[in-house]
Amino acid sequence: MDIILKKMNQFGFSSRPICRLLNKLPMYKDYSRSDLTNAINHEKNIINLPSGSYHFNLNSERYYEK
């Protein structure tokens, strides 16, 4: 995912990973929690993208690798 984020940011897409799960924060680590299998998988694989068409012009050649 780091490579994808780096490339996206190079092309002007202000992308980032999703926020960490709250149970991983020090103040919540000792609290009970349910099965987080899906949430952990999402945390590893989801990228936040900019919203709104005004952020970029997809017709621009700079978005296509040559």
Residues 1-44 have pLDDT tens digits of: 889 989 888 887 888 888 889 999 999 989 988 999 999 999 99
pLDDT recorded at residue 51: 72
pTM: predicted TM-score of the whole model, two decimal places = 0.59
For residue 55, pLDDT over 80 is answered with no
Q: Which residues contact 16 (CB under 8 A, 6 or more apart)?
A: 5, 47, 48
Average pLDDT, integer, range 48-57: 66
CA distance 8 to 15: 7
Task: Kindly list the domain boundaries of the chain, sorted by start residue.
Answer: 2-63
Q: Which residue has the higher pLDDT, 29 or 66?
A: 29
- Other C-beta atoms closer than 10 Å to the C-beta of 61 total 6
Q: What radius of gyration, in Å, describes the C-alpha atoms of the chain?
A: 16
pLDDT in the model for residue 65: 61
